[in-house]
Amino acid sequence: MKFFIDNWFLFLAAAVSGGLLLWPLINKGAGGSSKLSTNDAVQLINRERAVLIDVSEPAEYAAGHAAGAKSVPLGKLEASTDLPKNKALPLVVVCPTGARASRAVATLNKLGFANARALAGGFNAWRDANLPVEKTA
């Protein structure tokens, strides 16, 4: 017992480092894995036919969006008929910064889309990665 008392700081350090090692697994179970890098998003689109869903407002979407993305504003997501009928298809959700996309993923999960993931950094990251961009007139 004296060993534990004399070396309490070592046990604390071991517990903290173990917690930090387990954090990604715990966070993943809580929905932390819903963010995709641009490279992962492109691979998902190419390999698994993922659908790009842009939850930006119509004016933001018209100013510029990822090529091939469907416009489904966040406020109209639950009532939208533009979402794929096949709920097993992977969805890559995009907005200008990624903040709204994370909320949209939670909504999509409630609607039964288990493979919805937000693009980390949003449309800004997409554009910065020099991926195809479209504008609507």
Which of 65, 82, 77 lies closest to 136, judged by CA? 65
Higher-pLDDT residue of 119 and 30 is 119
**What are the CB-based long-range contacts (under 8 Å, 24+) for 126-131?**
126/38, 126/41, 126/66, 126/94, 127/64, 129/38, 129/39, 131/38, 131/42, 131/66, 131/67
Neighbours of 89 (CB within 10 A): 15
Q: What value does the mean pLDDT take over residues 98-121?
A: 92
Note whether 105 and 79 are same-domain residues: yes
CA-CA distance, 79 to 137, in Å (whole number)?
25
- How far apart are alpha carbons 60 and 16 in whole angstroms? 43
Q: Give the 3-state secondary structure percentages of the chain, helix then strand then coil, rounded to 5.
A: 50, 15, 35
Contact predicate 133/66, CB 8 Å? yes
On whether both 78 and 129 belong to a single domain, the answer is yes
> Sorting pLDDT into bands at 50, 70 and 90, what band is 136?
confident
Q: 19 and 47: one domain? A: no
- pLDDT exceeds cutoff 60 at 21: yes
Task: Say what the pLDDT of residue 32 is.
Answer: 46
State the residue range of the domain holding 55: 33-134
The answer to whether residue 96 scores a pLDDT higher than 70 is yes
- Whether 24 and 70 map to the same domain: the answer is no
pLDDT 10s digits, 30-75? 444 568 999 999 999 999 999 999 999 999 999 999 999 999 999 9
The yes-or-no answer on residue 95 being catalytic is yes
Same domain assignment for residues 18 and 41: no
- Residues 26, 69: one domain? no
Catalytic one of 66, 72, 83, 95: 95
- Note whether 25 and 38 are same-domain residues: no
Residue 86: predicted pLDDT: 93
Percent residues over pLDDT 70 in the chain: 91
Q: Are 93 and 105 in contact (CB under 8 A)?
A: yes
What is the length of the chain?
Answer: 137
d(CA 55, CA 67): 14
